[in-house]
A = this chain, B = another copy of it.
Amino acid sequence: MADTDLQDRDTAHDGEERVEERVQGEGVQFDEENRLRPEFVRAVRESLRDDNEDSTYDLVEPLHPADIADLFELFDREDRAYLANAITDLMSSEVVAELNDYVREDMVEALPAAAVAEIVEQLETDDAVQLIEDLDEGDQRAILAEVEPEDRAAIESALTYPEESAGRLMQRELVAVPESMTVGDLIDYLRAADDLTTEFWEVFVVDHRFHPVGTCQLSWVLRCPRDVALTDVMKRDQTLIPTDMDQEEVALRFQKYALISAAVVDDSGRLVGQLTVDDITHIIAEEAGEDALLLSGAGEGDINEPLRDAYSSRVRWLIANLGTAVVASAIIAYFGAAIEKLVALAVLMPIVASIGGNAGTQTMAVTVRAIAMNQLTRSNTKRLVLRELKVALMNGATIAVLIGAATAVLFTPELGAVIAAAMVINIIISGMAGVLVPVAFDRMNQDPAVASSVFVTMITDSMGFFAFLGLAVASGLVSL
């Protein structure tokens, strides 16, 4: 892949005529939160519809590639194609790399194979792979047939690694040098080599088997005299990422060890690629944000996801919850005779179930987050369970007093006592379910964010109705 050419960049800023300084993400196009203003988006759309390509180009040209990508996402599907035509010059590899997955896939499917191949050749391996990995095999083959053999080989090899693995994500472009070099040797090598990438933050030092033995931050290299050996500058403690490591795990390592780049090694320990943090920040945000979506059963939850995907992931969840709701209904049905005699039970029972559900959701969100951040292990699970039990007791007591007193006044003191007791029981059960269900899924190596909700909801709903109606009968308040 052709990487950013140093010479090109120099020329662009060369000569007497100074390019004006430009601050990214500021100016009339943006609101205070760095989002493209609706007025600006509308202006671009109108100039597109007027078929005024020059004015469209002038409007879009000052934007950073990431903002051009945002512009595409804000447009409707049909307008995206018009925009792409109007600003072909500005459709750099950076724009393509920054596009939302769904929007990119949509646009790539609309383009002829040769045009996609042209874009692919400009991209780094990782971005090229991202561009075509979701296409069906026929389309992939058609595009790869148009790509230069060397680039094709790199992409095909990346595609052999599992999806969302380090092997897929890595860049093959990196700087690796032998242990024998000095700082001076390295600088001379970097200046002389023509085809090196310019996107690197650390230099990997490798042995004769091409196994990484250390990493040099460029700032250390720059601060040392030429005659210092690299082995004296490099850091030997390093994080090596195996090609088959999952992206979630990669993201956690980058966070935990504050990495800027990391060496990716194959099964035999050979250096085969690098990961840089700028590609990982997206994944960190994605992985950290997906729990809220998973817990609510919203699937991928991206607003650009096709309608049929959104429907199928969400309806599956609603059907599962229909099942749990039916279980709760069966419990109510069992107490039908009691409700007929005392309709106040029907009025109050949703309160017990609803508050229990909320308490369970709170504990579950905390637990799922702690598991995702690797904060919760067998070493501290018992401590967390005890802590949540204490919180549940305090919450249960508070809510029980409030609802018990109100019920005693509005209905009868006996009913107040029953609902208060049921509330304490349900909040404790819910709190415990909120911890134990996700922990159990984690121990079974299942993602706790995916399935915990259904189980916790079933427990909190059923137990809410059962505790309240059961206590009403058991206390002799009403008979079955």
Contacts and interface: CB of A to CB of B under 8 A. Distances in A.
Given A14-B232, A315-B398, A328-B354, 19 more contacts: A20-B236, A22-B237, A22-B238, A24-B253, A35-B374, A41-B379, A66-B256, A198-B223, A221-B222, A260-B277, A289-B291, A301-B369, A303-B367, A303-B370, A303-B380, A314-B395, A317-B358, A329-B350, A350-B350
Nearest to A346: B346
A49 interface: no
Interface residues of A, number: 160
A362 B313 CA distance: 10
A297 to B, nearest CB: 6
Contacts of A373: 285, 289
A336 B292 CA distance: 37
A351 B326 contact: yes
Interface in A205-233: 213-214, 217-225, 228, 231-233
A377 B24 contact: no
Interface in A94-122: 98, 100
A50 interface: no
A355 B218 contact: no
B298 A362 contact: yes
Nearest to A295: B292
A318 B258 contact: no
A134 interface: no
B355 A325 contact: yes
A54 interface: no
Contacts of A57: none
Contacts of A55: none
Given A237-B22, A365-B301, A199 B219 contact: yes
Minimum-distance CB pairs A-B, first 3: A292-B292, A288-B288, A258-B278
A222 B190 contact: yes
Interface string A304-324: 100100110011011101101
Interface in A230-287: 231-240, 249, 251-260, 277-282, 284-286
B201 A260 contact: yes
Interface in A353-372: 353-355, 358-359, 361-370, 372
Contact of A350 (B240, B332, B375): B332
A25 B253 contact: yes
Contacts of A304: 375
A217 B191 contact: no
A64 interface: yes
B319 A399 contact: yes
Given A218-B218, A303-B384, A350-B350, A224 B191 contact: yes
A34 interface: yes
